[in-house]
Amino acid sequence: MALADSGGDVEALPITADEDVVRVRQLVRSRAVAAKLSLIDQTKLVTAASELARNTLVHGGGGRAEVSTVTNGRRNGIRVHFADDGPGIADLDLAMTDGYTSGTGMGLGLSGARRLVDEFDIDTGPGAGTRVTVTKWSR
Amino acid sequence: MDIGTTTQFAGLLRDHRDELLKRWTANAGTGLRGRLAEAELARQIRELYDALRGTVVTEGELTLDSPAAVELRAVLGELSRQRALHGFTATETAISVFALKEAVLGVLDAGESGSLRLFVAVSQFVDELGLFTFEAYSRTREALIAEQAEQLLELSTPVVKLWDGVVAVPLVGTLDSARAQVVMERLLQTLVDTGSPYAIIDITGVPAVDTQVAQHILKTVVAARLMGADCVISGIRPQIAQTIVALGIEFGDIVTKASLADALMHTLRAGGFELNRRAVRRD
Ligand SMILES: Nc1ncnc2c1ncn2[C@@H]1O[C@H](COP(=O)(O)OP(=O)(O)OP(=O)(O)O)[C@@H](O)[C@H]1O
Ligand SMILES: [Mg+2]
């Protein structure tokens, strides 16, 4: 994943309950608006964040989100980082498959989130927790 | 409070009952600025006083969490609950308890040895009572707020009859699991009550449709079908449509429309309504 300058305005939120998912969504939306992302890109990023925040809560047993505004010189973007100390994902290929769920979901959150953003980075393993970082750039 | 001071306090409560009650009630009344009937306040303070006396005479160290204080805790808890339910503030409630300090100060003989020590100990104990009151008050308020939130939840999910045979649910805001459940129940109940063959779920007011929201909507549609009604989803704005596609969500054979008006037109046409045929022929 290409590193970009963080604007230094990282905001962190805990994810321990349903209403925290809503809070993450609202923070991401207000940051995306401020970074002048298009309405479609705002909606895509907010939806991806919603999926990843809920995965952090439901599968990761809770964790935190960090939202920052980034720039690569030419464009601004919003980066959201999710981290939990949960069980981690043993078979990442399987988890990223459309329709695979270990629970009762649609199994589209993780794979769908990847399609909704410009950059998607996941670091996970059995017993190692899960960290997902996504970035959406302005056009 | 150690045993020596407790004994002293017990003596004070026994010997100065009338005077202490009078001062305590008067001080508490100032804090409430006449918002509570005097007789009612006097009754509450008397109850507190007697519960306090029952706690203080028992042997051993005086703390609010000792088994001997069970009656006092119950009276304090009930007082806080009543005040919270009747719209008094937490401060007004706590002041009624703290007012005991000034009352005790008023009857203490300043010249007597140990009275300062006694006052400090009583003061600390009353602080403990005040904190307990505050917590009990908060618990009641929280329960009240949760109850109101539930009522609001009901209010915020209206099911409206758009036409004979067509009901609609306009969804606005975050569709969490609790709300989704209410929406589904309401819609199904309305379908039963009105015998409507068509239902429109309008999501114009939903800011983002993720897999959870989609799953709730799909479940509602399936349930409505089981009741013999057909569902149309309307209000899918361009950005939501693109997001749904990128997520990979499929609405299968469920009819979706851009606007509520389109959805209504569709159901009227499908239902073979007179007015609708004419309207269609015209455009
Ligand atoms: N943070 C996480 N920690 C552990 N396991 C995870 C985590 N995120 C995802 N997974 C695993 O990956 C699977 C797929 O995730 P995905 O979000 O695609 O589907 P889902 O959450 O089960 O359903 P939904 O479609 O409602 O999101 C999950 O069922 C879970 O087993
Ligand atoms: Mg998920």
pLDDT digits 0-9 by tens, B22-65: 999 999 998 887 788 889 999 999 999 999 998 887 667 788 88
pLDDT recorded at residue B275: 53
Tens digit of each residue's pLDDT (9 = 90 or more) over B87-142: 899 999 999 999 999 999 999 877 777 888 999 999 999 999 999 999 999 998 88
Question: How many Å lie between the alpha carbon of A53 and the closest alpha carbon of chain B?
Answer: 11
| Regions of chain A with pLDDT less than 70 | 1-8
Global pTM reads: 0.67
Q: Cβ distance A93 to A107 under 8 Å?
A: no
Distance CA B260, CA A56 (A): 35
A–B CB contacts, 8 A cutoff, strictly below:
63
pLDDT at position B276, please?
A: 44
Task: For residue B214, give the chain A residue with the closest CA.
Answer: A106
The amino acid at residue A4 is: A
Angstrom distances, CA of residue B245 to CA of A87, A130, B48: 30, 26, 65
Q: Decide: A76 in ligand 1 pocket, CB within 6 A.
A: no
Closest residue in B to A39 (Cα) is B239
Q: How confident is the model at residue B282 (pLDDT cuts 50, 70, 90)?
A: very low
B236 inside 8 A of chain A by CB: no
- Ligand 1 neighbourhood includes A96 CB (under 6 angstroms): no
Nearest chain A CA: its distance from B110 CA (Å): 54
Give how far B282 is from chain A: nearest CA, Å. Answer: 35
Q: How far apart are the first and last CA of chain A?
A: 19
Q: Which residues contact B146 (CB under 8 A, 6 or more apart)?
A: none
Q: Which of A18, A101, A116, A120 to mutate to test the pocket of ligand 1 (most atoms within 8 A of CB)?
A: A101
Interface residue of B145, B176, B210, B213 to substitute, partner A, most A CBs within 10 Å: B210
CB contacts, 8 Å: A50 with chain B: 208, 210, 212
From residue B196, how far is each of B20, B163, B233, B270 by CA, in Å? 69, 9, 16, 13
The answer to whether the Cβ–Cβ distance between A47 and B209 falls below 8 Å is yes
- At residue B10, does pLDDT exceed 50? yes
Nearest CA in chain A to B209: A47
Alpha-carbon distance of B167 to B272, in angstroms, equals 16
Q: What share of chain A is helix, strand, coil (3-state, %, to 5)?
A: 35, 30, 35
Per-residue model confidence as pLDDT tens digits over B153-173: 666 678 888 888 999 998 887
Pocket flag, ligand 1, residue A87 (CB < 6 Å): yes
Residue B155, judged by CB atoms within 10 A of its CB (0-12, 13-18, 19+), counts as exposed
Q: What is the mean pLDDT of residues B177-201?
A: 88
ipTM score assigned to the predicted complex:
0.89
Domains of chain B and any CATH numbers:
3-152 (1.10.490.130), 160-270 (3.30.750.24)
- DSSP-H helix ranges across B86-114: 90-107
Out of B178-187, B221-230, B249-258, least confident range: B178-187
Q: Is B177 in the pocket of ligand 1 (CB under 6 A)?
A: no
Asked if the model's pLDDT at residue B197 lies above 70, the reply is yes
How many domains does one find in chain A? 1
Q: Cα distance from B256 to chain A (closest Cα, Å)?
A: 19
Nearest residue in A to B243, CA atom:
A44
Are A63 and A56 spatial neighbours (Cβ–Cβ below 8 Å)? yes
Q: How many CB atoms are located within 10 Å of the residue B39 CB?
A: 8
Q: How far apart are CA A98 and CA A107, in angstroms?
A: 6
Which pLDDT value is given to residue B4?
85
CA distance to A13, A22, A75, A89, B179, per residue, from A27 (Å): 9, 9, 20, 27, 22
Domain of A52 in residue numbering reads as: 4-137
3-state secondary structure A70-122: EECCCCEEEEEEEEECCCCCCCHHHHCCCCCCCCCCCCCHHHHHHHHCCEEEE
Q: Measure the CA–CA gap between B97 and B106, rounded to whole angstroms.
A: 16
Q: Which of B204, B217, B247, B249 to mutate to test the interface with A (most CBs of A within 10 A)?
A: B247
E-state strands within B128-197: 160-163, 166-172
Q: What is the CATH number of the domain that holds A87?
A: 3.30.565.10
Residue B176 banded pLDDT, cuts 50, 70, 90: confident
Query: What separation in Å is there between the alpha carbon of B132 and the centre of ligand 2?
Result: 42
Share of chain B above pLDDT 90, in %: 55
